[in-house]
Amino acid sequence: MKMKKILLAVAAGLLALAPASAQRYGGVVDKSIALIGNDIVMLSDVEAEAQMMRARGLAVDHRARCEILENFLVSKLFLTQAKLDSLVVNEAQVAASLDQRMNEVMATLGGEQKTEEYFGKPIYKLRQEWQQTMRDQSLIQEMQRNVASDVPKLTPRDIKKYCDETPAEDLPMVSTKYRIRQIGIYPDREAAELAVKERLIGLRERIVNGEKFSTLARLYSQDPGSMSKGGELGMASRSIFWPAFSDAAMSLKVGQVSQVVETPDGYHIIQLIEREGDKFNARHILIKPQYTSEDRDRAFRKLDSIRNLIMVDSMAFFDAARSFSEERHSATNGGLMADEYTGSSYFEKDQLKPADYNVLRNMKEGDVSEPFESLDNEGRNGNTIYKILYLEKVLPAHVANYQEDYSTLIEEVNNKNAMKAIDKFIAEKQKTTYIVIDPMFQGCDFERKGWIK
Protein backbone atom coordinates (compact mmCIF):
# COMPACT_ATOMS: atom_id res chain seq x y z
CA MET A 1 0.00 0.00 0.00
CA LYS A 2 1.34 3.41 -0.93
CA MET A 3 2.07 5.53 2.14
CA LYS A 4 0.78 9.08 1.92
CA LYS A 5 3.27 11.87 2.50
CA ILE A 6 1.73 13.18 5.70
CA LEU A 7 3.54 15.24 8.27
CA LEU A 8 6.41 12.81 8.25
CA ALA A 9 7.50 15.03 5.36
CA VAL A 10 7.55 17.92 7.77
CA ALA A 11 9.85 15.96 10.03
CA ALA A 12 12.24 15.79 7.10
CA GLY A 13 12.48 19.52 6.94
CA LEU A 14 9.81 22.19 6.46
CA LEU A 15 11.58 25.29 7.72
CA ALA A 16 9.23 28.14 6.83
CA LEU A 17 11.84 30.88 6.66
CA ALA A 18 9.70 34.00 6.31
CA PRO A 19 11.75 36.91 4.96
CA ALA A 20 12.07 40.09 6.98
CA SER A 21 10.72 42.20 4.16
CA ALA A 22 8.55 41.76 1.08
CA GLN A 23 10.26 39.96 -1.78
CA ARG A 24 9.25 38.87 -5.24
CA TYR A 25 8.75 35.24 -6.16
CA GLY A 26 8.36 34.53 -9.84
CA GLY A 27 7.40 38.18 -10.38
CA VAL A 28 4.75 38.13 -7.60
CA VAL A 29 5.09 40.14 -4.39
CA ASP A 30 4.93 37.98 -1.26
CA LYS A 31 1.35 37.36 -0.20
CA SER A 32 -0.89 34.86 1.58
CA ILE A 33 -1.66 31.85 -0.60
CA ALA A 34 -3.78 29.80 1.79
CA LEU A 35 -6.06 30.43 4.75
CA ILE A 36 -6.70 27.39 6.93
CA GLY A 37 -8.77 28.09 10.04
CA ASN A 38 -7.07 31.05 11.67
CA ASP A 39 -3.67 30.33 10.12
CA ILE A 40 -2.15 31.75 6.95
CA VAL A 41 0.42 30.19 4.63
CA MET A 42 2.55 32.80 2.87
CA LEU A 43 4.13 32.47 -0.54
CA SER A 44 7.44 33.18 1.18
CA ASP A 45 6.91 30.10 3.36
CA VAL A 46 6.67 27.88 0.29
CA GLU A 47 9.60 29.61 -1.43
CA ALA A 48 11.75 29.29 1.68
CA GLU A 49 11.24 25.52 1.67
CA ALA A 50 11.92 25.50 -2.08
CA GLN A 51 15.16 27.34 -1.37
CA MET A 52 16.05 24.72 1.24
CA MET A 53 15.34 21.92 -1.26
CA ARG A 54 17.62 23.56 -3.83
CA ALA A 55 20.34 23.81 -1.18
CA ARG A 56 20.07 20.01 -0.84
CA GLY A 57 20.48 19.63 -4.61
CA LEU A 58 16.81 18.89 -5.38
CA ALA A 59 14.95 20.24 -8.40
CA VAL A 60 12.00 22.51 -7.63
CA ASP A 61 9.13 23.15 -10.06
CA HIS A 62 5.45 24.07 -9.71
CA ARG A 63 4.52 20.49 -8.81
CA ALA A 64 7.10 20.47 -6.01
CA ARG A 65 5.66 23.74 -4.73
CA CYS A 66 2.21 22.17 -4.68
CA GLU A 67 3.57 19.33 -2.53
CA ILE A 68 5.22 21.86 -0.22
CA LEU A 69 1.96 23.77 0.18
CA GLU A 70 0.02 20.56 0.90
CA ASN A 71 2.53 19.63 3.60
CA PHE A 72 2.00 23.05 5.16
CA LEU A 73 -1.78 22.61 5.06
CA VAL A 74 -1.60 19.21 6.74
CA SER A 75 0.82 20.55 9.35
CA LYS A 76 -1.58 23.36 10.23
CA LEU A 77 -4.36 20.85 10.94
CA PHE A 78 -2.19 18.89 13.35
CA LEU A 79 -0.67 21.99 14.93
CA THR A 80 -4.06 23.55 15.62
CA GLN A 81 -5.30 20.38 17.30
CA ALA A 82 -2.06 20.04 19.29
CA LYS A 83 -2.56 23.51 20.73
CA LEU A 84 -6.21 22.78 21.52
CA ASP A 85 -5.11 19.63 23.34
CA SER A 86 -2.42 21.62 25.25
CA LEU A 87 0.40 19.35 24.14
CA VAL A 88 3.87 20.24 25.42
CA VAL A 89 6.96 20.88 23.31
CA ASN A 90 9.89 18.50 23.81
CA GLU A 91 12.63 21.12 24.21
CA ALA A 92 15.48 18.61 24.19
CA GLN A 93 14.21 17.22 20.88
CA VAL A 94 13.91 20.75 19.48
CA ALA A 95 17.49 21.58 20.44
CA ALA A 96 18.83 18.36 18.93
CA SER A 97 16.80 18.77 15.71
CA LEU A 98 17.89 22.39 15.35
CA ASP A 99 21.56 21.52 15.77
CA GLN A 100 21.27 18.66 13.31
CA ARG A 101 19.59 20.90 10.73
CA MET A 102 22.16 23.68 11.18
CA ASN A 103 25.02 21.19 10.79
CA GLU A 104 23.46 19.59 7.70
CA VAL A 105 22.81 22.93 6.00
CA MET A 106 26.27 24.32 6.74
CA ALA A 107 27.93 21.09 5.59
CA THR A 108 25.94 21.18 2.34
CA LEU A 109 26.57 24.86 1.63
CA GLY A 110 30.19 24.93 2.76
CA GLY A 111 30.31 26.58 6.17
CA GLU A 112 28.81 29.45 8.14
CA GLN A 113 29.78 32.26 5.78
CA LYS A 114 28.33 30.60 2.68
CA THR A 115 25.18 29.69 4.61
CA GLU A 116 24.71 33.32 5.63
CA GLU A 117 25.28 34.43 2.04
CA TYR A 118 22.82 31.85 0.67
CA PHE A 119 19.99 32.86 3.00
CA GLY A 120 20.97 36.52 3.28
CA LYS A 121 20.90 36.38 7.10
CA PRO A 122 23.37 35.83 9.95
CA ILE A 123 23.53 32.41 11.57
CA TYR A 124 22.03 33.61 14.86
CA LYS A 125 18.98 34.96 12.98
CA LEU A 126 18.51 31.67 11.12
CA ARG A 127 18.68 29.78 14.42
CA GLN A 128 15.98 32.03 15.90
CA GLU A 129 13.68 31.58 12.91
CA TRP A 130 14.20 27.84 12.62
CA GLN A 131 13.78 27.21 16.33
CA GLN A 132 10.08 28.13 16.28
CA THR A 133 9.51 25.85 13.31
CA MET A 134 11.22 23.01 15.18
CA ARG A 135 8.98 23.71 18.18
CA ASP A 136 5.90 23.47 15.94
CA GLN A 137 7.30 20.30 14.42
CA SER A 138 7.65 18.77 17.89
CA LEU A 139 3.97 19.46 18.62
CA ILE A 140 2.92 18.10 15.23
CA GLN A 141 4.80 14.84 15.75
CA GLU A 142 3.33 14.45 19.24
CA MET A 143 -0.16 15.03 17.83
CA GLN A 144 0.44 12.42 15.15
CA ARG A 145 1.51 9.92 17.81
CA ASN A 146 -1.65 10.67 19.77
CA VAL A 147 -3.83 10.08 16.71
CA ALA A 148 -1.99 6.86 15.86
CA SER A 149 -2.18 5.64 19.47
CA ASP A 150 -5.96 5.35 19.22
CA VAL A 151 -5.54 2.33 16.95
CA PRO A 152 -6.86 -0.83 18.68
CA LYS A 153 -4.24 -3.22 20.03
CA LEU A 154 -3.63 -6.17 17.72
CA THR A 155 -3.96 -9.82 18.72
CA PRO A 156 -2.28 -12.89 17.19
CA ARG A 157 -5.66 -13.71 15.63
CA ASP A 158 -5.65 -10.32 13.85
CA ILE A 159 -2.21 -10.99 12.41
CA LYS A 160 -3.15 -14.51 11.32
CA LYS A 161 -6.24 -13.14 9.60
CA TYR A 162 -4.13 -10.47 7.86
CA CYS A 163 -1.75 -13.13 6.53
CA ASP A 164 -4.57 -15.39 5.33
CA GLU A 165 -6.51 -12.61 3.57
CA THR A 166 -3.64 -10.59 2.04
CA PRO A 167 -2.28 -11.65 -1.39
CA ALA A 168 1.37 -12.76 -1.21
CA GLU A 169 2.48 -9.89 -3.46
CA ASP A 170 1.09 -7.41 -0.94
CA LEU A 171 2.80 -8.94 2.09
CA PRO A 172 6.15 -7.41 3.12
CA MET A 173 9.39 -8.97 1.97
CA VAL A 174 11.76 -9.96 4.75
CA SER A 175 15.47 -9.55 3.99
CA THR A 176 18.02 -12.25 4.79
CA LYS A 177 18.60 -12.32 8.55
CA TYR A 178 21.49 -13.69 10.59
CA ARG A 179 21.66 -15.03 14.14
CA ILE A 180 25.23 -14.56 15.35
CA ARG A 181 27.40 -15.18 18.37
CA GLN A 182 30.67 -13.36 18.96
CA ILE A 183 33.76 -13.40 21.14
CA GLY A 184 35.41 -10.00 21.43
CA ILE A 185 38.83 -9.07 22.80
CA TYR A 186 39.84 -5.46 23.33
CA PRO A 187 43.38 -4.21 22.70
CA ASP A 188 45.53 -3.18 25.66
CA ARG A 189 43.90 0.19 26.28
CA GLU A 190 46.16 1.47 29.03
CA ALA A 191 49.13 2.54 26.92
CA ALA A 192 46.94 3.89 24.11
CA GLU A 193 44.75 5.86 26.51
CA LEU A 194 47.80 7.33 28.23
CA ALA A 195 49.16 8.47 24.86
CA VAL A 196 45.85 10.17 23.99
CA LYS A 197 45.69 11.97 27.34
CA GLU A 198 49.26 13.23 26.95
CA ARG A 199 48.47 14.45 23.44
CA LEU A 200 45.37 16.34 24.60
CA ILE A 201 47.25 17.83 27.55
CA GLY A 202 49.83 19.11 25.06
CA LEU A 203 47.09 20.65 22.89
CA ARG A 204 45.53 22.27 25.95
CA GLU A 205 48.86 23.85 26.88
CA ARG A 206 49.20 25.26 23.36
CA ILE A 207 45.71 26.82 23.63
CA VAL A 208 46.44 28.28 27.06
CA ASN A 209 49.65 29.74 25.60
CA GLY A 210 47.73 31.57 22.89
CA GLU A 211 46.97 29.23 19.98
CA LYS A 212 43.36 29.18 18.74
CA PHE A 213 41.25 26.25 19.91
CA SER A 214 39.32 26.24 16.61
CA THR A 215 42.51 25.93 14.55
CA LEU A 216 43.77 22.96 16.55
CA ALA A 217 40.31 21.34 16.40
CA ARG A 218 40.38 21.49 12.60
CA LEU A 219 43.85 19.91 12.57
CA TYR A 220 43.55 17.24 15.23
CA SER A 221 39.94 16.48 16.25
CA GLN A 222 38.50 13.12 15.21
CA ASP A 223 34.87 14.23 15.47
CA PRO A 224 33.72 14.41 11.81
CA GLY A 225 30.60 16.39 12.74
CA SER A 226 32.42 19.34 14.29
CA MET A 227 36.06 19.37 13.21
CA SER A 228 35.36 21.41 10.06
CA LYS A 229 33.64 24.02 12.25
CA GLY A 230 36.59 24.39 14.55
CA GLY A 231 35.11 21.90 16.99
CA GLU A 232 31.97 23.98 17.61
CA LEU A 233 28.89 21.96 18.54
CA GLY A 234 26.19 24.66 18.54
CA MET A 235 23.78 25.67 21.31
CA ALA A 236 22.04 22.55 22.63
CA SER A 237 20.55 21.04 25.75
CA ARG A 238 23.02 19.32 28.06
CA SER A 239 20.80 16.24 27.96
CA ILE A 240 21.86 15.27 24.42
CA PHE A 241 25.54 14.87 25.40
CA TRP A 242 27.24 12.25 27.55
CA PRO A 243 26.82 13.26 31.23
CA ALA A 244 30.59 13.55 31.78
CA PHE A 245 30.86 15.88 28.78
CA SER A 246 27.92 18.07 29.85
CA ASP A 247 29.11 18.27 33.45
CA ALA A 248 32.58 19.36 32.37
CA ALA A 249 31.28 21.94 29.88
CA MET A 250 28.74 23.43 32.28
CA SER A 251 31.40 23.84 35.00
CA LEU A 252 33.57 26.07 32.78
CA LYS A 253 33.61 29.84 32.47
CA VAL A 254 33.22 31.29 28.97
CA GLY A 255 36.51 30.85 27.11
CA GLN A 256 37.93 28.43 29.67
CA VAL A 257 39.36 25.10 28.52
CA SER A 258 38.65 21.89 30.45
CA GLN A 259 41.03 19.20 31.57
CA VAL A 260 40.86 15.91 29.64
CA VAL A 261 37.35 14.40 29.75
CA GLU A 262 36.57 10.73 29.03
CA THR A 263 33.28 9.60 27.39
CA PRO A 264 32.30 6.47 25.42
CA ASP A 265 33.28 8.41 22.27
CA GLY A 266 36.89 8.85 23.41
CA TYR A 267 38.80 11.66 25.13
CA HIS A 268 38.05 15.38 24.84
CA ILE A 269 39.15 18.83 25.83
CA ILE A 270 36.30 21.36 25.84
CA GLN A 271 36.09 25.15 25.56
CA LEU A 272 32.86 26.85 26.65
CA ILE A 273 31.53 29.46 24.19
CA GLU A 274 28.15 30.28 25.73
CA ARG A 275 25.83 29.01 28.47
CA GLU A 276 22.10 29.69 28.83
CA GLY A 277 20.14 27.79 31.49
CA ASP A 278 20.73 24.08 30.89
CA LYS A 279 21.92 24.72 27.33
CA PHE A 280 25.42 25.47 26.18
CA ASN A 281 27.55 25.93 23.08
CA ALA A 282 31.10 24.61 23.22
CA ARG A 283 34.06 23.61 21.11
CA HIS A 284 35.80 20.32 21.65
CA ILE A 285 38.68 18.26 20.36
CA LEU A 286 38.01 14.52 20.33
CA ILE A 287 40.81 11.98 20.03
CA LYS A 288 40.34 8.22 20.21
CA PRO A 289 42.99 5.76 21.39
CA GLN A 290 45.07 4.39 18.53
CA TYR A 291 46.40 0.86 18.60
CA THR A 292 49.51 -0.73 17.13
CA SER A 293 50.03 -3.87 15.08
CA GLU A 294 51.40 -5.47 18.25
CA ASP A 295 48.03 -4.91 19.97
CA ARG A 296 46.30 -6.52 17.01
CA ASP A 297 48.68 -9.49 16.88
CA ARG A 298 48.34 -10.10 20.63
CA ALA A 299 44.53 -10.14 20.42
CA PHE A 300 44.56 -12.34 17.29
CA ARG A 301 46.80 -14.91 19.00
CA LYS A 302 44.38 -15.12 21.93
CA LEU A 303 41.36 -15.44 19.61
CA ASP A 304 43.15 -18.12 17.56
CA SER A 305 43.68 -20.14 20.72
CA ILE A 306 40.00 -19.80 21.69
CA ARG A 307 38.93 -20.73 18.15
CA ASN A 308 41.11 -23.85 18.24
CA LEU A 309 39.44 -24.96 21.47
CA ILE A 310 36.04 -24.59 19.79
CA MET A 311 37.03 -26.32 16.54
CA VAL A 312 38.36 -29.45 18.26
CA ASP A 313 35.19 -29.69 20.37
CA SER A 314 37.00 -29.00 23.62
CA MET A 315 34.62 -26.15 24.33
CA ALA A 316 31.30 -24.95 22.90
CA PHE A 317 31.21 -21.43 21.47
CA PHE A 318 28.56 -20.53 24.08
CA ASP A 319 30.86 -21.50 26.96
CA ALA A 320 33.93 -19.91 25.36
CA ALA A 321 32.10 -16.63 24.98
CA ARG A 322 31.02 -16.64 28.62
CA SER A 323 34.57 -17.45 29.73
CA PHE A 324 36.70 -15.28 27.45
CA SER A 325 34.70 -12.57 25.68
CA GLU A 326 35.32 -8.99 26.82
CA GLU A 327 32.30 -7.63 24.90
CA ARG A 328 30.07 -7.07 27.92
CA HIS A 329 26.68 -6.87 26.17
CA SER A 330 26.86 -10.36 24.68
CA ALA A 331 29.28 -12.29 26.90
CA THR A 332 26.74 -13.28 29.55
CA ASN A 333 24.42 -14.64 26.82
CA GLY A 334 27.06 -16.93 25.40
CA GLY A 335 28.11 -14.33 22.83
CA LEU A 336 24.62 -13.97 21.32
CA MET A 337 24.31 -10.61 19.61
CA ALA A 338 21.00 -8.78 20.14
CA ASP A 339 19.58 -5.47 18.96
CA GLU A 340 19.84 -3.01 21.85
CA TYR A 341 16.50 -1.38 20.97
CA THR A 342 14.26 -4.33 20.05
CA GLY A 343 16.02 -7.21 21.76
CA SER A 344 15.85 -9.23 18.52
CA SER A 345 18.68 -11.72 17.99
CA TYR A 346 18.30 -11.61 14.19
CA PHE A 347 20.10 -8.96 12.13
CA GLU A 348 19.71 -7.79 8.57
CA LYS A 349 22.77 -6.77 6.57
CA ASP A 350 22.28 -3.04 7.14
CA GLN A 351 22.08 -3.53 10.91
CA LEU A 352 25.56 -5.02 11.11
CA LYS A 353 28.92 -3.30 11.34
CA PRO A 354 30.50 -3.30 7.85
CA ALA A 355 33.52 -5.28 9.08
CA ASP A 356 31.21 -7.90 10.64
CA TYR A 357 29.17 -8.33 7.46
CA ASN A 358 32.27 -8.55 5.25
CA VAL A 359 33.30 -11.62 7.25
CA LEU A 360 29.79 -13.02 7.69
CA ARG A 361 28.80 -12.97 4.01
CA ASN A 362 31.33 -15.72 3.19
CA MET A 363 30.25 -17.99 6.07
CA LYS A 364 27.75 -20.84 6.26
CA GLU A 365 25.62 -21.93 9.19
CA GLY A 366 27.85 -23.48 11.87
CA ASP A 367 31.05 -21.74 10.66
CA VAL A 368 33.41 -19.97 13.07
CA SER A 369 35.31 -17.07 11.51
CA GLU A 370 38.99 -16.27 11.65
CA PRO A 371 39.89 -13.31 13.92
CA PHE A 372 39.27 -9.86 12.45
CA GLU A 373 39.16 -6.22 13.53
CA SER A 374 35.81 -4.46 14.02
CA LEU A 375 34.05 -1.89 16.20
CA ASP A 376 31.84 -2.31 19.25
CA ASN A 377 28.59 -0.41 19.93
CA GLU A 378 30.00 1.99 22.53
CA GLY A 379 29.85 5.71 21.72
CA ARG A 380 28.70 7.22 18.47
CA ASN A 381 31.26 5.54 16.23
CA GLY A 382 32.32 2.53 18.28
CA ASN A 383 35.66 1.45 19.76
CA THR A 384 38.21 -0.93 18.29
CA ILE A 385 37.60 -4.58 19.16
CA TYR A 386 38.92 -7.87 17.73
CA LYS A 387 36.44 -10.70 17.16
CA ILE A 388 35.57 -14.15 16.00
CA LEU A 389 31.99 -14.86 14.89
CA TYR A 390 29.84 -17.98 14.96
CA LEU A 391 27.03 -18.02 12.37
CA GLU A 392 24.29 -19.87 14.20
CA LYS A 393 21.34 -19.42 11.83
CA VAL A 394 20.50 -17.86 8.46
CA LEU A 395 16.93 -16.96 7.52
CA PRO A 396 16.87 -16.49 3.71
CA ALA A 397 14.94 -13.57 2.18
CA HIS A 398 11.27 -14.47 1.88
CA VAL A 399 7.69 -13.22 1.92
CA ALA A 400 6.69 -12.61 5.53
CA ASN A 401 4.76 -15.45 7.15
CA TYR A 402 2.96 -15.84 10.46
CA GLN A 403 5.24 -18.53 11.89
CA GLU A 404 8.62 -16.81 11.37
CA ASP A 405 7.89 -13.09 11.05
CA TYR A 406 5.24 -12.23 13.60
CA SER A 407 7.08 -9.09 14.81
CA THR A 408 7.54 -7.86 11.21
CA LEU A 409 3.88 -8.42 10.42
CA ILE A 410 2.58 -6.76 13.56
CA GLU A 411 4.73 -3.72 12.78
CA GLU A 412 3.39 -3.67 9.20
CA VAL A 413 -0.26 -3.88 10.30
CA ASN A 414 0.26 -1.31 13.07
CA ASN A 415 1.79 1.09 10.56
CA LYS A 416 -1.09 0.63 8.13
CA ASN A 417 -3.67 1.12 10.85
CA ALA A 418 -1.85 4.21 12.10
CA MET A 419 -1.83 5.63 8.57
CA LYS A 420 -5.57 4.97 8.28
CA ALA A 421 -6.18 6.79 11.56
CA ILE A 422 -4.10 9.76 10.40
CA ASP A 423 -5.85 9.80 7.01
CA LYS A 424 -9.21 9.79 8.79
CA PHE A 425 -8.13 12.64 11.10
CA ILE A 426 -7.02 14.79 8.14
CA ALA A 427 -10.20 14.08 6.14
CA GLU A 428 -12.44 14.99 9.10
CA LYS A 429 -10.50 18.19 9.79
CA GLN A 430 -10.67 19.19 6.14
CA LYS A 431 -14.47 19.04 6.31
CA THR A 432 -14.78 21.14 9.48
CA THR A 433 -12.01 23.68 8.85
CA TYR A 434 -12.41 26.85 6.81
CA ILE A 435 -9.90 26.54 3.94
CA VAL A 436 -9.23 28.94 1.05
CA ILE A 437 -6.50 28.36 -1.55
CA ASP A 438 -5.19 31.18 -3.76
CA PRO A 439 -6.02 30.78 -7.49
CA MET A 440 -2.30 30.43 -8.32
CA PHE A 441 -2.35 27.06 -6.48
CA GLN A 442 -5.88 25.87 -7.23
CA GLY A 443 -4.64 23.93 -10.24
CA CYS A 444 -2.45 21.75 -8.05
CA ASP A 445 -3.03 18.01 -8.23
CA PHE A 446 -2.98 17.57 -4.45
CA GLU A 447 -2.50 14.04 -3.13
CA ARG A 448 -5.41 14.52 -0.73
CA LYS A 449 -8.72 15.78 -2.04
CA GLY A 450 -10.70 18.24 0.04
CA TRP A 451 -8.44 21.28 0.07
CA ILE A 452 -10.28 23.07 -2.73
CA LYS A 453 -13.85 23.86 -1.69
Task: Express each pLDDT in 89-137 by its tens digit.
Answer: 888 778 878 877 887 787 777 777 888 888 888 888 888 888 888 898 8
Q: Are residues 227 and 267 in the same domain?
A: yes
Q: Are 196 and 257 contained in the same domain?
A: yes
Domain-embedded: residue 104? yes
Q: Which of 238, 257, 287 is the last residue of a domain?
A: 287
Let me know whether 147 and 247 are in one domain. Answer: no
Write down the mean pLDDT value for the chain: 87
| CA–CA gap between residue 453 and residue 450 (Å, rounded) | 7
pTM of the predicted structure, to 2 decimals: 0.57
Determine contact, residues 406/156, Cβ cutoff 8 Å.
yes
Do 278 and 307 fall within a single domain? no
343-362 residues labelled b (16+ CB within 10 A) or e (exposed): eebbbeeebbbeebbebbee
Q: Which of 236, 255, 287 is the last residue of a domain?
A: 287
Among 307, 335, 324, CA closest to 179? 335
**Residue ending a domain, choose from 261, 287, 313:** 287
Residue 220 and residue 249 in one domain: yes
Min mean pLDDT across 2-11, 25-34, 256-265, 373-382 is at 2-11
Contacts of 109 (CB under 8 A, 6+ apart): 55, 115, 118
Mean pLDDT of 154-168: 92
Domain identity same for 250 and 390: no
Per-residue pLDDT at 12 = 37
Across the range 177-188, mean pLDDT stands at 94
Per-residue pLDDT, 5: 37
Asked if residue 166 is part of any domain, the answer here is no
Asked if 18 and 147 sit in the same domain, the reply is yes
Q: How confident is the model at residue 318 (pLDDT cuts 50, 70, 90)?
A: very high
Mean pLDDT score, 130-145:
89
Q: Kindly state whether residue 405 falls inside one of the protein's structural domains.
A: no
Residue 346's domain spans which residues? 177-187+291-399
Over residues 179-195, mean pLDDT: 90
Look at the chain and report how many structural domains it folds into: 3
Strand ranges of the sheet holding 435-437, from the earlier edge strand across to the other edge: 39-42, 32-36, 435-437
Beta-carbon contacts of 277 under 8 Å, excluding residues fewer than 6 positions away, are none
Asked if residue 448 belongs to a domain, the reply is no
Question: 252 with 316, same domain?
Answer: no
The whole-number pLDDT of residue 397 equals: 92
345 within domain boundaries: yes
At residue 26 the predicted structure's pLDDT band, cuts being 50, 70 and 90, is low
Same domain, 425 and 296: no
Quick one: what percent of the chain has pLDDT higher than 90? 57
**What CATH number is given to the structural domain containing 114?**
1.10.4030.10
Instruction: Examine residue 404 and state whether it is found in any structural domain, yes or no.
Output: no
Same domain, 271 and 295: no
> What CATH number is attached to the domain comprising 322?
3.10.50.40
Strand, coil or helix: 275: strand
CA atoms within 13 A on the CB side of 249: 33
Tell me: do 214 and 352 sit in the same domain: no
Residue 3 lies in a domain: no
Q: Which residues contact 432 (CB under 8 A, 6 or more apart)?
A: none
Same domain, 306 and 336: yes
Is 237 contained in some domain? yes
Q: Decide if 391 contacts 366 (C-beta within 8 A).
A: yes
Starting from the edge strand earliest in sequence, which strands make up the sheet with 372-375, in order? 346-348, 177-185, 384-395, 372-375
Residue bearing the bigger pLDDT, 333 or 239 = 333
